A = this chain, B = another copy of it.
Amino acid sequence: MLINCAAYCDGRKLADIEIGAIHDYLQRPDCFVWVALQDASPDELRVLQAQLELPELAVEDALHGHQRPKVEEYGDCLFTVLHLLHHEPAQIEVGELAVFTGPRFVLSVRNRSEQRFLGVRARSEREPELLRFGPGYVLYALMDAVVDRYFPLVEQLEDELEQIEADIFGDRLPGRATVERLYLLKRRTTVLKQAAAPLLHDIGRLYGGRVPGQVAAVQDYVRDVADHLTRINASIDGLRDTIATAIQVNLSLVTIDDGAVTKRLAAYAAIFGVWTALAGLWGMNFEFMPELGWRYGYLFALGLITAACAALFIRFRRIGWL
Protein backbone atom coordinates (compact mmCIF):
# COMPACT_ATOMS: atom_id res chain seq x y z
CA MET A 1 0.00 0.00 0.00
CA LEU A 2 1.47 3.33 -1.01
CA ILE A 3 1.58 5.81 1.85
CA ASN A 4 3.54 8.65 0.40
CA CYS A 5 5.58 9.56 -2.62
CA ALA A 6 7.15 13.00 -2.92
CA ALA A 7 10.02 14.71 -4.68
CA TYR A 8 12.46 17.00 -2.86
CA CYS A 9 14.90 19.47 -4.28
CA ASP A 10 17.57 21.27 -2.34
CA GLY A 11 15.95 20.21 0.94
CA ARG A 12 12.48 21.42 0.07
CA LYS A 13 9.46 19.44 -1.05
CA LEU A 14 8.60 19.95 -4.70
CA ALA A 15 5.41 17.96 -4.94
CA ASP A 16 3.60 14.73 -4.20
CA ILE A 17 4.17 12.74 -7.33
CA GLU A 18 2.86 9.65 -9.09
CA ILE A 19 4.93 6.51 -8.99
CA GLY A 20 5.11 6.61 -12.76
CA ALA A 21 6.67 10.07 -12.62
CA ILE A 22 9.55 9.05 -10.37
CA HIS A 23 11.86 8.35 -13.23
CA ASP A 24 11.62 11.97 -14.45
CA TYR A 25 12.55 13.42 -11.08
CA LEU A 26 15.56 11.15 -10.73
CA GLN A 27 17.18 13.01 -13.66
CA ARG A 28 16.95 16.49 -12.13
CA PRO A 29 20.08 17.68 -10.36
CA ASP A 30 19.90 18.08 -6.54
CA CYS A 31 16.59 16.28 -6.42
CA PHE A 32 15.56 13.08 -4.77
CA VAL A 33 12.40 11.06 -4.35
CA TRP A 34 11.11 9.69 -1.03
CA VAL A 35 8.61 6.84 -1.26
CA ALA A 36 6.94 5.06 1.66
CA LEU A 37 5.05 1.78 1.38
CA GLN A 38 3.25 -0.33 3.94
CA ASP A 39 2.87 -4.11 3.62
CA ALA A 40 3.70 -3.73 -0.05
CA SER A 41 2.32 -6.29 -2.48
CA PRO A 42 4.78 -7.96 -4.85
CA ASP A 43 3.28 -5.97 -7.74
CA GLU A 44 3.78 -2.61 -6.04
CA LEU A 45 7.34 -3.46 -5.23
CA ARG A 46 8.11 -4.75 -8.72
CA VAL A 47 6.86 -1.48 -10.24
CA LEU A 48 9.16 0.49 -7.95
CA GLN A 49 12.02 -1.94 -8.62
CA ALA A 50 11.71 -1.08 -12.31
CA GLN A 51 11.54 2.67 -11.66
CA LEU A 52 14.42 2.79 -9.16
CA GLU A 53 16.53 -0.12 -10.47
CA LEU A 54 16.46 -1.81 -7.07
CA PRO A 55 18.73 -4.84 -6.59
CA GLU A 56 16.88 -8.14 -7.07
CA LEU A 57 18.10 -9.91 -3.91
CA ALA A 58 17.20 -6.95 -1.72
CA VAL A 59 13.72 -6.73 -3.20
CA GLU A 60 13.23 -10.42 -2.49
CA ASP A 61 14.28 -9.84 1.11
CA ALA A 62 11.84 -6.96 1.44
CA LEU A 63 9.01 -9.09 0.02
CA HIS A 64 9.86 -12.15 2.03
CA GLY A 65 10.17 -10.32 5.34
CA HIS A 66 11.46 -11.89 8.57
CA GLN A 67 14.95 -10.58 7.92
CA ARG A 68 17.53 -9.86 10.60
CA PRO A 69 18.44 -6.18 11.06
CA LYS A 70 21.23 -5.36 8.61
CA VAL A 71 22.89 -2.85 6.31
CA GLU A 72 23.92 -4.19 2.90
CA GLU A 73 25.48 -2.50 -0.08
CA TYR A 74 24.34 -3.46 -3.57
CA GLY A 75 26.38 -1.32 -5.95
CA ASP A 76 25.31 2.23 -5.12
CA CYS A 77 22.10 1.16 -3.40
CA LEU A 78 22.11 0.70 0.36
CA PHE A 79 19.63 -1.84 1.70
CA THR A 80 18.78 -1.49 5.38
CA VAL A 81 16.46 -3.63 7.48
CA LEU A 82 15.32 -2.42 10.91
CA HIS A 83 13.13 -4.20 13.43
CA LEU A 84 10.02 -2.39 14.62
CA LEU A 85 9.17 -3.57 18.11
CA HIS A 86 5.76 -3.40 19.70
CA HIS A 87 5.40 -4.32 23.37
CA GLU A 88 2.35 -6.49 23.96
CA PRO A 89 1.94 -7.56 27.58
CA ALA A 90 4.47 -10.35 28.20
CA GLN A 91 5.55 -10.42 24.53
CA ILE A 92 7.23 -8.27 21.92
CA GLU A 93 5.82 -8.23 18.40
CA VAL A 94 8.40 -7.74 15.66
CA GLY A 95 7.70 -5.85 12.43
CA GLU A 96 10.19 -4.59 9.89
CA LEU A 97 11.17 -1.45 8.10
CA ALA A 98 13.18 -2.10 4.93
CA VAL A 99 14.85 0.99 3.47
CA PHE A 100 16.41 1.23 0.01
CA THR A 101 18.71 4.26 -0.20
CA GLY A 102 20.04 5.19 -3.63
CA PRO A 103 21.92 8.33 -4.64
CA ARG A 104 18.65 9.99 -5.62
CA PHE A 105 15.92 8.13 -3.84
CA VAL A 106 14.76 6.62 -0.56
CA LEU A 107 12.17 3.88 -0.47
CA SER A 108 10.90 2.59 2.86
CA VAL A 109 8.75 -0.55 3.12
CA ARG A 110 7.04 -1.20 6.43
CA ASN A 111 5.85 -4.74 7.15
CA ARG A 112 3.73 -6.23 9.94
CA SER A 113 3.72 -3.12 12.10
CA GLU A 114 1.42 -0.23 12.88
CA GLN A 115 4.27 2.13 13.79
CA ARG A 116 4.04 5.16 11.52
CA PHE A 117 6.83 7.45 10.37
CA LEU A 118 4.84 10.45 9.14
CA GLY A 119 6.37 12.46 11.98
CA VAL A 120 9.83 11.83 10.54
CA ARG A 121 8.78 13.23 7.18
CA ALA A 122 7.09 16.23 8.75
CA ARG A 123 10.09 17.06 10.92
CA SER A 124 12.49 16.62 8.02
CA GLU A 125 10.45 18.95 5.87
CA ARG A 126 10.63 21.58 8.60
CA GLU A 127 14.45 21.42 8.52
CA PRO A 128 15.44 21.91 4.89
CA GLU A 129 19.04 22.67 5.85
CA LEU A 130 19.33 19.02 6.99
CA LEU A 131 17.09 17.47 4.35
CA ARG A 132 19.43 19.05 1.81
CA PHE A 133 21.91 16.23 2.70
CA GLY A 134 19.61 14.02 0.63
CA PRO A 135 18.62 10.35 0.86
CA GLY A 136 21.35 9.60 3.42
CA TYR A 137 19.76 12.07 5.81
CA VAL A 138 16.38 10.46 5.37
CA LEU A 139 17.92 7.06 6.08
CA TYR A 140 19.46 8.51 9.23
CA ALA A 141 16.17 10.09 10.30
CA LEU A 142 14.34 6.78 9.90
CA MET A 143 17.02 4.80 11.77
CA ASP A 144 17.01 7.41 14.52
CA ALA A 145 13.23 7.22 14.86
CA VAL A 146 13.24 3.42 14.99
CA VAL A 147 16.08 3.19 17.50
CA ASP A 148 14.64 5.93 19.74
CA ARG A 149 11.55 3.80 20.15
CA TYR A 150 13.67 1.05 21.68
CA PHE A 151 14.46 3.17 24.75
CA PRO A 152 10.99 3.14 26.35
CA LEU A 153 10.91 -0.61 25.73
CA VAL A 154 14.16 -1.12 27.60
CA GLU A 155 12.78 1.03 30.40
CA GLN A 156 9.57 -1.01 30.58
CA LEU A 157 11.59 -4.19 30.89
CA GLU A 158 13.78 -2.62 33.57
CA ASP A 159 10.69 -1.48 35.46
CA GLU A 160 9.24 -4.95 35.23
CA LEU A 161 12.45 -6.42 36.61
CA GLU A 162 12.24 -4.04 39.55
CA GLN A 163 8.69 -5.16 40.26
CA ILE A 164 9.77 -8.79 40.15
CA GLU A 165 12.66 -7.97 42.48
CA ALA A 166 10.19 -6.42 44.92
CA ASP A 167 8.24 -9.69 44.76
CA ILE A 168 11.34 -11.82 45.24
CA PHE A 169 12.61 -9.96 48.26
CA GLY A 170 9.15 -9.04 49.55
CA ASP A 171 7.23 -10.60 52.40
CA ARG A 172 5.52 -13.38 50.53
CA LEU A 173 7.70 -16.10 49.08
CA PRO A 174 7.89 -15.88 45.27
CA GLY A 175 5.91 -18.62 43.60
CA ARG A 176 5.46 -20.06 40.14
CA ALA A 177 4.20 -16.76 38.74
CA THR A 178 7.43 -14.96 39.63
CA VAL A 179 9.51 -17.59 37.90
CA GLU A 180 7.36 -17.45 34.80
CA ARG A 181 7.60 -13.66 34.72
CA LEU A 182 11.39 -13.84 34.92
CA TYR A 183 11.41 -16.33 32.09
CA LEU A 184 9.16 -14.24 29.87
CA LEU A 185 11.22 -11.16 30.69
CA LYS A 186 14.35 -13.00 29.60
CA ARG A 187 12.69 -14.02 26.34
CA ARG A 188 11.75 -10.45 25.58
CA THR A 189 15.29 -9.22 26.17
CA THR A 190 16.35 -11.78 23.56
CA VAL A 191 13.97 -10.25 21.01
CA LEU A 192 15.27 -6.80 21.83
CA LYS A 193 18.86 -7.95 21.61
CA GLN A 194 18.23 -9.54 18.22
CA ALA A 195 16.89 -6.19 17.04
CA ALA A 196 19.74 -4.05 18.38
CA ALA A 197 22.95 -6.11 18.29
CA PRO A 198 23.14 -7.01 14.56
CA LEU A 199 22.22 -3.46 13.63
CA LEU A 200 24.96 -2.07 15.86
CA HIS A 201 27.41 -4.34 14.09
CA ASP A 202 26.35 -3.40 10.57
CA ILE A 203 25.89 0.32 11.19
CA GLY A 204 29.62 0.58 11.75
CA ARG A 205 29.97 0.54 7.95
CA LEU A 206 28.15 3.85 7.69
CA TYR A 207 30.61 6.08 9.53
CA GLY A 208 34.25 6.35 10.35
CA GLY A 209 36.13 4.51 7.61
CA ARG A 210 35.16 4.22 3.96
CA VAL A 211 31.44 4.90 3.81
CA PRO A 212 28.90 4.76 0.98
CA GLY A 213 28.47 8.09 -0.81
CA GLN A 214 24.88 8.65 0.28
CA VAL A 215 25.77 8.83 3.96
CA ALA A 216 29.19 10.51 3.74
CA ALA A 217 27.74 13.87 4.73
CA VAL A 218 25.69 12.58 7.66
CA GLN A 219 28.31 10.39 9.36
CA ASP A 220 28.16 12.29 12.65
CA TYR A 221 24.43 11.70 12.74
CA VAL A 222 24.78 8.01 11.99
CA ARG A 223 27.42 7.73 14.71
CA ASP A 224 24.86 9.23 17.06
CA VAL A 225 22.45 6.41 16.21
CA ALA A 226 25.26 3.90 16.76
CA ASP A 227 25.88 5.52 20.13
CA HIS A 228 22.22 5.05 21.06
CA LEU A 229 22.39 1.43 19.96
CA THR A 230 25.51 0.88 22.07
CA ARG A 231 23.68 2.29 25.06
CA ILE A 232 20.63 0.09 24.42
CA ASN A 233 22.85 -2.92 23.95
CA ALA A 234 24.66 -2.30 27.23
CA SER A 235 21.33 -1.90 29.03
CA ILE A 236 20.04 -5.16 27.57
CA ASP A 237 23.20 -7.01 28.54
CA GLY A 238 22.96 -5.64 32.06
CA LEU A 239 19.30 -6.62 32.19
CA ARG A 240 19.99 -10.15 30.97
CA ASP A 241 22.80 -10.61 33.42
CA THR A 242 20.62 -9.39 36.27
CA ILE A 243 17.73 -11.65 35.25
CA ALA A 244 20.08 -14.64 35.29
CA THR A 245 21.21 -13.68 38.78
CA ALA A 246 17.61 -13.14 39.87
CA ILE A 247 16.68 -16.66 38.73
CA GLN A 248 19.54 -18.11 40.75
CA VAL A 249 18.82 -15.96 43.77
CA ASN A 250 15.15 -16.85 43.65
CA LEU A 251 16.05 -20.54 43.69
CA SER A 252 18.24 -19.91 46.72
CA LEU A 253 15.41 -18.16 48.54
CA VAL A 254 12.98 -20.95 47.75
CA THR A 255 15.48 -23.48 49.02
CA ILE A 256 16.07 -21.46 52.18
CA ASP A 257 12.32 -21.31 52.75
CA ASP A 258 12.06 -25.07 52.19
CA GLY A 259 14.71 -25.57 54.79
CA ALA A 260 12.80 -23.46 57.29
CA VAL A 261 9.66 -25.52 56.75
CA THR A 262 11.56 -28.78 57.07
CA LYS A 263 12.86 -27.56 60.40
CA ARG A 264 9.39 -26.79 61.68
CA LEU A 265 8.30 -30.18 60.49
CA ALA A 266 11.12 -31.85 62.36
CA ALA A 267 10.25 -29.84 65.45
CA TYR A 268 6.56 -30.85 65.31
CA ALA A 269 7.58 -34.44 64.78
CA ALA A 270 9.77 -34.36 67.86
CA ILE A 271 7.28 -32.61 70.17
CA PHE A 272 4.22 -34.66 69.24
CA GLY A 273 6.38 -37.74 69.09
CA VAL A 274 7.38 -37.33 72.74
CA TRP A 275 3.83 -36.55 73.83
CA THR A 276 2.26 -39.48 72.03
CA ALA A 277 4.98 -41.85 73.12
CA LEU A 278 4.58 -40.99 76.80
CA ALA A 279 0.81 -41.17 76.64
CA GLY A 280 1.18 -44.50 74.86
CA LEU A 281 3.19 -45.85 77.77
CA TRP A 282 0.41 -45.30 80.30
CA GLY A 283 -2.13 -46.55 77.83
CA MET A 284 -0.60 -50.01 78.11
CA ASN A 285 -2.70 -52.66 79.83
CA PHE A 286 -0.18 -54.28 82.16
CA GLU A 287 -1.70 -55.35 85.41
CA PHE A 288 1.14 -54.18 87.61
CA MET A 289 1.74 -50.53 86.74
CA PRO A 290 1.90 -48.92 90.17
CA GLU A 291 1.67 -45.29 89.03
CA LEU A 292 -1.72 -45.97 87.50
CA GLY A 293 -3.11 -46.33 90.95
CA TRP A 294 -1.49 -43.22 92.40
CA ARG A 295 -3.76 -40.47 93.54
CA TYR A 296 -1.98 -37.86 91.48
CA GLY A 297 -0.66 -40.23 88.82
CA TYR A 298 -2.65 -38.51 86.09
CA LEU A 299 -1.45 -35.09 87.11
CA PHE A 300 2.08 -36.40 87.28
CA ALA A 301 1.75 -37.80 83.75
CA LEU A 302 0.29 -34.56 82.42
CA GLY A 303 3.05 -32.64 84.12
CA LEU A 304 5.75 -34.83 82.71
CA ILE A 305 4.36 -34.63 79.20
CA THR A 306 3.97 -30.87 79.42
CA ALA A 307 7.50 -30.46 80.78
CA ALA A 308 9.04 -32.60 78.06
CA CYS A 309 7.18 -30.83 75.30
CA ALA A 310 7.94 -27.40 76.73
CA ALA A 311 11.62 -28.23 77.00
CA LEU A 312 11.71 -29.30 73.36
CA PHE A 313 9.72 -26.24 72.30
CA ILE A 314 12.15 -23.89 74.06
CA ARG A 315 15.10 -25.73 72.58
CA PHE A 316 13.72 -25.47 69.02
CA ARG A 317 12.90 -21.82 69.53
CA ARG A 318 16.45 -21.13 70.57
CA ILE A 319 18.00 -22.80 67.54
CA GLY A 320 15.50 -21.09 65.29
CA TRP A 321 13.47 -24.06 64.13
CA LEU A 322 10.18 -22.76 65.45
Which A positions have Cβ atoms within 8 angstroms of B? 55, 57, 67-68, 70, 72, 74, 165, 169, 173, 175-176, 179-180, 182-183, 186-187, 190, 194, 198, 220-221, 223-224, 227, 230-231, 234, 238, 241-242, 244-259, 261-266, 268-277, 279-289, 291-298, 301-302, 305, 321
Known contacts A259-B261, A281-B302, A282-B285: does B227 contact A72 (CB below 8 Å)?
yes
Contact check, B57 vs A246: say whether CB atoms are below 8 A apart.
no
Question: Top 10 A-B pairs ranked by shortest CB distance?
Answer: A272-B273, A279-B280, A265-B266, A282-B284, A286-B298, A275-B277, A258-B259, A283-B283, A286-B297, A68-B231
Q: Apart from A182-B249, A281-B305, what 16 extra A-B contacts exist at CB < 8 Å?
A: A176-B253, A176-B256, A190-B241, A257-B259, A258-B262, A261-B263, A265-B265, A265-B269, A266-B268, A268-B273, A272-B276, A272-B277, A280-B283, A283-B284, A286-B301, A288-B297
Contact check, B249 vs A248: say whether CB atoms are below 8 A apart.
no
- 8 A-B residue pairings within 8 Å (CB atoms): A165-B183, A186-B242, A254-B255, A254-B259, A257-B259, A283-B284, A286-B292, A287-B293
Cα distance A277–B286 in the bound complex, in angstroms: 16
Residues on B with beta carbons closer than 8 Å to the beta carbon of A246: 183
Instruction: Name the residue in A68, A74, A173, A285 with the highest tally of chain B Cβ atoms < 10 Å from its Cβ.
Output: A285
Question: Closest residue of chain B to A269, judged by CB?
Answer: B268
The smallest C-beta distance from A50 to any residue of chain B, in angstroms, reads 17
From B67, B186, B227, B261, contact of A266 by CB (8 A): B261
Cα distance A279–B271 in the bound complex, in angstroms: 15
The smallest C-beta distance from A198 to any residue of chain B, in angstroms, reads 7
Question: Closest residue of chain B to A259, judged by CB?
Answer: B258
Question: Closest residue of chain B to A179, judged by CB?
Answer: B252
Cα distance A187–B244 in the bound complex, in angstroms: 12
Residues on B with beta carbons closer than 8 Å to the beta carbon of A285: 282-285, 289, 292
Cα distance A295–B290 in the bound complex, in angstroms: 11
Contact check, A230 vs B286: say whether CB atoms are below 8 A apart.
no
The smallest C-beta distance from A80 to any residue of chain B, in angstroms, reads 13
From B254, B280, B321, contact of A256 by CB (8 A): B254
Residues on B with beta carbons closer than 8 Å to the beta carbon of A269: 265, 268-269, 272-273
From B179, B270, B277, B284, contact of A301 by CB (8 A): B284
Residues on B with beta carbons closer than 8 Å to the beta carbon of A297: 286-288
